[in-house]
Chains A and B, each alone.
Chain A
């Protein structure tokens, strides 16, 4: 037995109780509320004056898969490596590599990250990439709703059971942790030449509306017992007036649980002239009225970045604004993907407005359990800006300083300057730990209750929250010290959490026929078998709801 004592820190964990100064024990990779009976402590870390939190959990960050790797190949100039890493940690400073991703997350105190776009036909690549991201646990959301097989089931008016079985098949074979739909029907419509797609628009040749796809999937998620609600990338991303789309989509859900991805990108209103304004208040009202709905923000932060999305329609439109002037667009077997680089410039009033709208959503949030922190990495900005975002949320003075640079045209279109709310440390702990873990169904993390996975981040309690959350003093992954003084200490591998819903044998043989007709090879070519990872242990099966 190995017992680690974190001595005298201020433990911020709203799930287990009020913030207090106390010792925390990590025993054989699990959190223990009290010192084990034998009283032996192997290692003690002095946490006096420091903040102790559960390891952070990211509900939506594009860190692996074909489209992420496409962005690596498209934009070499954005990630030229120039610093040597320490011995024994190969590729730790290789920019945009999986190794660097794992290190950077760990050094901020993150211990679990979810890749939100697992394309079933490319599941093995995504899992190979995830397995090469060290120091964190991972998971991925299986993308459904735009593939020919699924749309054909809807067109042919197959029953709920067949649809549930087909979706469960995709989830199980791709080894996803949840289900996601992207602009339901939009990418399929784009393949057929359409360039816009609304909730009641119909996918050509299938006669199926976006609304139908969405509601069918909401039902399937419940029937399969997926712990994470359907993860929805709604229609009309980035379109002024999209708050109405969100309202309509919430209405379509009829009270069923649903998670909106990167809602900031749907929070744009328009004024009388059709110019963009903040729609954050409308979004906040919609969220307030719908306790069944959660979201992540997708905060925009300034600088050059790249957008990676399976929303082909949106990416085709966005390609006109690519900076540098290049993009990739893949018509895949279902969605495919688009990669478009862009710059969020401090001098651009629209980008400033996007930044402000994201913060407004955080500050108008009715509930930190339902509004989570993301940048939709890298779409709104890098995950490495999280400490700055926390700083902006906890410190209204910091916000005022940033707003000084804001062009007047942006200032008059957002209510950000009037918002005085400052997030508490407890709210930060909920928003970045407890809430994402809970909504993903990862009940063993995101908190420090007795028996939780010993994923712990210890921070110096600095007024400069950016500095504080950029470099954790200590990070423990499953009870092993992985970061000290803001520096990763070496490579250890985490696990990829997956669901393993039962697959109906009849659906299995129907899918085998379909796959063979479509690809000329059978389902084995799409499988994600454990043997593909050699001797490594990769997967951890999480339970479905019953």
Chain B
């Protein structure tokens, strides 16, 4: 595979990947504190990246920061109740869209575009928007008018008010321009009355404190009925990458392998922080599925694995790689069916996969740099 690859050096196309792989190995192998980041690739790419990181003593991070830093942090801080897209679609009689990102995702993924008819006993689906800033879904089937609360408020504030009223606790005086107590109580009652409510949230809309409040509200609701949550999928295969890291290193990303064992630390091993603070002396950027090489990468010697059409002008070595599900088969987390799925190449191209390029770099490290 490697021999067939096209590659570019400093933005200029070059044929034959082997020389580029040799330069990549020299750049990374000579570094004392390398960082592997982006990590937008399939399961085998992540496996290979972690293995290379172990060999180099590198830190590894993924670009989907909100997922890693907020969602997975809340999971580790206080736990979560979750469900799947299909269960939410068919079983839920109340879909709660918490924050504008949830509305955008519901419309974009069209996960609730039909009523979902698998469970004949389910009542009509209600839809409730919390702190969505006025956004309402255009492609969510509902049997009743969409309800809303707190369009002008922060999600955290709305969740706190609801949690108080679900628990029949008093709330502090409300601002004049905020919702009336009766409106909050009506929504609290709507949530308590659901047989299987699902609260959807995009981690990009919420810090970990807000997500924690959301989970606390859901746990409270479960004292009397069934309620759970669904996270908007992380971008660039973020969820898949974190899961591969969890079974490979024991924990989620970012992880450092400089000491011969994994160290999970959101701050220490944050790729952007390491590079901008001058703690990293080399970067391997993996963007088979995107994202593009960020501006902060300009400050560090960089090897970039990018998909066709992407640019990486500040990188020292650029290797074009195939895209899983497009030019290559592979395994990706499928956001609709909520699990890993094997995908085929739709339009096969003679490009190397991320895993193949990394295997080549590893081999070049072991074999001595050319």
A residues at B contact (CB < 8 Å): 64, 66, 68-70, 72-76, 79, 81-85, 90-91, 93-100, 121-122, 124-125, 128-129, 132, 148, 191-193, 205, 316, 322, 325-333, 336, 339, 517-521, 524-529, 531-532, 534
Q: Is the CB of A76 within 8 A of B264?
A: yes
Q: Is the CB of A94 within 8 A of B118?
A: no
Cβ-neighbour of A332 out of B77, B83, B119, B242 (below 8 A): B83
10 contacts between A and B (CB under 8 A): A68-B247, A91-B248, A124-B340, A125-B340, A205-B119, A316-B222, A331-B91, A331-B226, A518-B86, A521-B336
Residues of B within 8 A of A81 (CB): 249-250, 261-263
Interface size (B, Cβ < 8 Å)?
62
Q: Is the CB of B90 within 8 A of A128?
A: no
Instruction: Classify the secondary structure of B's interface with A.
Output: mixed
Q: Is the CB of A73 within 8 A of B72?
A: yes
**Given that A69-B247, A84-B261, A328-B81 are contacting pairs, would A191 and B336 also be in contact in the complex, using a CB cutoff of 8 Å?**
no
Residues of B within 8 A of A121 (CB): 337-339
| A517-B89 Cα distance, complex, nearest whole Å | 11
Cβ-neighbour of A100 out of B44, B75, B120, B250 (below 8 A): B250
Q: Is the CB of A73 within 8 A of B75?
A: yes
A21 CB, nearest partner CB in chain B, Å? 42
B356 CB, nearest partner CB in chain A, Å? 9
Residues of B within 8 A of A82 (CB): 261
**Given that A73-B75, A81-B263, A94-B261 are contacting pairs, would A328 and B340 also be in contact in the complex, using a CB cutoff of 8 Å?**
no
Q: Which residue of B lies closest to A148 (CB)?
A: B118
B66 CB, nearest partner CB in chain A, Å? 16
Q: Which residue of A lies closest to B218 (CB)?
A: A329
Q: Is the CB of B248 within 8 A of A73?
A: no
Count of A-B residue pairs with CB < 8 Å: 180
Q: Is the CB of B247 within 8 A of A521?
A: no
**Given that A74-B75, A81-B250 are contacting pairs, would A332 and B260 also be in contact in the complex, using a CB cutoff of 8 Å?**
no
Closest 10 CB pairs of A and B: A84-B260, A326-B79, A90-B54, A331-B83, A81-B261, A532-B342, A525-B341, A96-B250, A72-B246, A97-B250
By CB atoms of chain B within 10 A, which of A72, A75, A84 has the most? Answer: A72
Q: Is the CB of A521 within 8 A of B337?
A: yes
Residues of A within 8 A of B47 (CB): 132
Answer whether residue B156 sits at the interface, using C-beta atoms and an 8 A cutoff: no
Per-residue A-contact encoding for B87-123, CB less than 8 Å = 1, 0 else: 1001100000000000000000001000001111100
| A72-B86 Cα distance, complex, nearest whole Å | 25
Cβ-neighbour of A73 out of B228, B246, B262, B337 (below 8 A): B246
Answer whether residue B174 sits at the interface, using C-beta atoms and an 8 A cutoff: no
| A74-B337 Cα distance, complex, nearest whole Å | 23
Answer whether residue B205 sits at the interface, using C-beta atoms and an 8 A cutoff: no
Answer whether residue B193 sits at the interface, using C-beta atoms and an 8 A cutoff: no
Residues of B within 8 A of A519 (CB): 85-86, 336-337
Q: Is the CB of A333 within 8 A of B75?
A: no
